[in-house]
C-alpha cells in the first residue's frame, strides 16, 4: 500500500507540473485591453508601423505574434535604445536588420500601456488573417451598373407601350367611323377628308380656347419665375465645389484616422483673420520618413528641391505649390477666423463640415448671408469673463440710471479704434 501511495504522489506531482507548464504556455501572450491599445497604437505607432505590412518600420502583426517574450516587447516599446545600449541580443539583431534606424523612445508609456498595444496588435492581426482566409470563398461581388439585358428590356417595354397606344388610337378611330356610319354621317366625314388639309386648324382651335390659353400662360409664368429665382439665388453659391488640387491630400487620413488637429496645419485660425494654407515645410515634419515612396509625397520633394537620398535641399529647384482655393467670400463680406474659433469657440466642422471624413475637401456649406444669419440667431453668446460684454453691461446700467455715457465708455479711446 505504501508503494502505491508513493507512486500516486509522484504521479500527481508530475500531472501538476505539466498542468502548470500548459497554463503558462497558454497565457504566455500579453493579456491587456485591446480597446485602449487601439487608441495608443493609432496615436503612437501608425506614423511608422502598420499591422500587416512594412512601411518605415516592420509589420508589427507577424513580429509580435511570433515573439513570445512579452517582457522584451514591453521594454522595446518603452525604450528600445536602452536595450540596444545594454547589448541585448534580440535588440541588437533588430537594430541591425533595419539598417540601424532609431525607433522613437516613449518614456511616457507604462508597462500596462505597452501590454495593451501588444494585445491589440495580435488581436487585429488574427482578424486580418481570418479575413484573408475567407476572402476567396466569401468575397463580396463587385459593384456593377445595370446589365445590358435590363436596359434592353426597359427599351422594349417603352416601345411596346408606344405600339399599344398607336393600336388603341386606331381602334378608337375605327369605332368612331362605325358610329358615324350608323348615324348616316360617314359620307360627310369622307367629303371633309377630301377637302384641303389645314395643318394649323388644330392650333387655331386651341388658341381660341381662353381657359387653355390662360392655363398655359400661368404655368409658363410660374415656371420662368421659379427658374429665375433659383438661378439668381444660387449665383456665386458653390456648395459642393471640389477642385482638383496639385497634391491629393486625404483629410480623412490626417484629420480622421491620425486625429491630427486642424490647427496643426492651419495655424492662423485661432490668431488671425485667415486660417492660412500650411507651408510644405509643415508636411516635411512627418514626410521626411513617412510614406517616402508615395508619388504625391515626391511632389512635395520636387516643390521644395529636396533630395530624399541625400536629405538636402536645393534652393535653385524650389517652386511654389499652386493650391486652388475652395472657400471664397465676396469682397464686401468680412470674416475673421479668430473671432469664431478662439472667441466663440466654434469647431472647424461648424462651417467646413465633416472634414475628417472627406477624401478630398469640398465646400460643404453655402456661405450665403442667410446661412450666416441663421447661425448667428441660434448661437448662444458666452458673456462670462468677457471684458467687452462686461463693459457693455456697465454702460447699460449707466443708461438705466440716466447718467451720461461718453464715447470713451464705449471703447472710443482704445488704440485699435484708429491704429489698426
Question: Is 370's pLDDT higher than 50?
Answer: yes
* pLDDT score at 39: 80
Q: What is the mean pLDDT of the chain?
A: 79
Contact residues for 94 (Cβ-Cβ < 8 A; gap 6+): 76, 80
Instruction: Look up residue 252 and give its DSSP letter.
Output: I
166 or 196: whose pLDDT is higher?
A: 166
* pLDDT score at 314: 93
Q: What is the DSSP string of 332-387?
A: T----HHIIIIIS---THHHH--GGG-SS----S---HHHHHHHHHHPPP--TT-H
Which of 367-393 are b and which e, b meaning 16 or more Cβ less than 10 Å from the residue's Cβ? beeeebeeeeeeeeeeeeeeeeeeeee
Domains of the chain: total: 6
**Once rounded to an integer, what is the mean pLDDT over residues 7-12?**
46
Which of 127-157 are b and which e, b meaning 16 or more Cβ less than 10 Å from the residue's Cβ? eeeeeeeeeeeeeeeeeeeeeeeeeeeeeee
- 322 and 79 in contact (C-beta within 8 Å)? no
Nearest to 275 by CA among 333, 348, 334, 355: 348
* pLDDT score at 247: 94
Number of other CB atoms surrounding residue 266 within 10 Å: 19
Q: What is the CATH number of the domain that holds 99?
A: 1.10.760.10
Question: Is 37's pLDDT higher than 70?
Answer: yes
Residue range 98-153, pLDDT digits in tens: 656 667 777 788 888 888 888 888 888 888 888 777 655 444 344 444 556 766 77
This model's pTM is above 0.85 = no
Residue range 179-189, pLDDT digits in tens: 877 777 665 54
Name the band, by pLDDT with cuts 50, 70 and 90, for residue 297.
very high
**Would 141 be classed as within a structural domain?**
no
323 and 357 share one domain: yes
Number of other CB atoms surrounding residue 364 within 10 Å: 18
The answer to which of 159-163, 262-266, 325-329 has the lowest mean pLDDT is 159-163
**Once rounded to an integer, what is the mean pLDDT over residues 192-197?**
51
331 and 315 share one domain: yes
Nearest to 116 by CA among 150, 77, 157: 77
Cell numbers representing residue 388 in the block: 467687452
- 330 and 266 in contact (C-beta within 8 Å)? no
72 or 287: whose pLDDT is higher?
A: 287
186 and 208 share one domain: no
Radius of gyration of the chain (CA): 39
Main-chain dihedrals φ then ψ at residue 354, nearest 5 degrees: -75, 75
187 and 296 share one domain: no
292 and 271 share one domain: yes
* pLDDT score at 248: 92
119 and 160 share one domain: no
65 and 82 share one domain: yes
Instruction: Name, of 30-44, 99-113, 236-250, the range with top average pLDDT.
Output: 236-250
Q: How many percent of the chain have pLDDT more than 70?
A: 82
264 and 337 share one domain: yes
320 or 382: whose pLDDT is higher?
A: 320
Number of other CB atoms surrounding residue 30 within 10 Å: 22
263 and 369 share one domain: yes
**Would 217 be classed as within a structural domain?**
yes
The answer to which of 231-245, 269-283, 375-389, 392-406 has the lowest mean pLDDT is 375-389
* pLDDT score at 338: 92
* pLDDT score at 353: 93
**Would 77 be classed as within a structural domain?**
yes
At residue 301, the 3 state secondary structure works out as helix
Supply the range of the domain harboring residue 163.
Answer: 153-195
**Once rounded to an integer, what is the mean pLDDT over residues 253-272?**
92
Question: Is 21's pLDDT higher than 50?
Answer: no
**Would 245 be classed as within a structural domain?**
no
**Would 328 be classed as within a structural domain?**
yes
* pLDDT score at 201: 77
User: Which residue reads 528641391 in cell numbers?
Assistant: 305
Question: Is 28's pLDDT higher than 70?
Answer: no
Instruction: Name, of 7-11, 83-87, 125-129, 301-305, the range with top average pLDDT.
Output: 301-305
* pLDDT score at 19: 46
Q: How many percent of the chain have pLDDT more than 90?
A: 28
In this structure, what is the dihedral angle of CA atoms 385, 389, 395, 400, given to the nearest 10 degrees? -90
Amino acid at each position: 500500500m505504501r508503494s502505491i501511495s508513493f507512486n500516486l504522489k509522484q504521479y500527481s506531482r508530475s500531472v501538476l507540473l505539466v498542468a502548470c507548464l500548459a497554463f503558462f504556455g497558454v497565457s504566455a501572450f500579453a493579456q491587456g485591453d485591446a480597446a485602449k491599445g487601439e487608441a495608443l497604437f493609432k496615436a503612437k505607432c501608425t506614423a511608422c508601423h502598420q499591422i500587416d505590412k512594412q512601411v518605415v518600420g516592420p509589420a508589427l502583426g507577424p513580429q509580435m505574434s511570433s515573439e513570445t517574450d512579452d517582457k522584451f516587447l514591453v521594454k522595446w516599446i518603452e525604450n528600445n535604445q536602452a536595450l540596444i545600449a545594454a547589448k541585448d541580443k534580440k535588440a541588437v539583431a533588430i537594430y541591425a536588420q533595419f539598417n540601424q534606424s532609431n525607433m522613437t523612445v516613449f518614456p511616457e508609456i507604462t508597462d500596462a500601456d505597452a501590454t495593451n498595444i501588444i494585445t491589440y496588435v495580435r488581436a487585429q492581426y488574427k482578424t486580418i488573417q481570418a479575413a484573408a482566409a475567407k476572402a476567396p470563398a466569401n468575397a463580396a461581388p463587385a459593384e456593377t451598373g445595370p446589365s445590358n439585358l435590363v436596359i434592353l428590356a426597359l427599351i422594349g417595354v417603352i416601345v411596346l407601350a408606344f405600339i399599344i397606344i398607336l393600336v388603341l388610337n386606331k381602334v378608337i378611330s375605327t369605332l368612331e367611323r362605325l358610329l358615324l356610319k350608323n348615324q348616316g354621317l360617314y359620307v360627310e366625314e369622307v367629303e371633309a377628308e377630301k377637302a384641303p388639309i389645314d395643318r394649323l386648324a388644330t392650333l387655331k382651335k386651341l388658341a381660341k380656347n381662353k381657359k387653355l390659353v390662360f392655363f398655359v400662360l400661368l404655368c409658363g409664368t410660374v415656371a420662368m419665375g421659379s427658374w429665375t429665382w433659383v438661378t439668381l439665388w444660387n449665383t456665386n453659391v458653390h456648395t459642393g465645389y471640389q477642385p482638383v488640387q496639385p497634391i491629393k491630400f486625404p483629410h480623412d487620413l490626417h484629420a480622421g484616422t491620425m486625429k491630427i488637429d486642424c490647427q496643426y496645419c492651419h495655424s492662423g485660425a485661432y490668431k488671425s483673420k485667415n486660417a492660412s494654407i500650411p507651408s510644405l515645410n509643415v508636411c516635411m515634419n512627418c514626410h521626411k520618413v513617412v510614406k517616402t515612396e508615395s508619388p504625391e509625397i515626391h511632389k512635395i520633394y520636387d516643390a521644395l528641391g529636396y533630395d530624399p537620398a541625400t536629405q538636402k535641399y536645393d534652393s535653385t529647384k524650389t517652386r511654389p505649390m499652386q493650391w486652388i482655393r475652395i472657400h471664397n467670400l465676396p469682397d464686401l463680406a468680412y470674416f475673421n477666423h479668430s473671432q469664431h474659433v478662439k472667441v466663440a469657440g466654434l469647431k472647424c466642422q461648424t462651417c467646413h463640415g465633416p472634414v475628417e471624413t472627406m477624401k478630398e475637401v469640398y465646400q460643404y456649406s453655402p456661405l450665403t448671408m442667410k446661412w450666416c444669419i441663421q447661425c448667428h440667431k441660434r448661437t448662444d453668446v458666452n458673456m462670462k469673463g468677457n471684458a467687452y460684454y462686461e463693459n457693455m453691461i456697465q454702460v447699460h446700467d449707466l443708461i438705466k440710471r440716466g447718467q451720461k455715457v461718453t464715447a470713451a465708455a464705449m471703447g472710443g479711446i482704445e488704440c485699435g479704434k484708429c491704429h489698426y
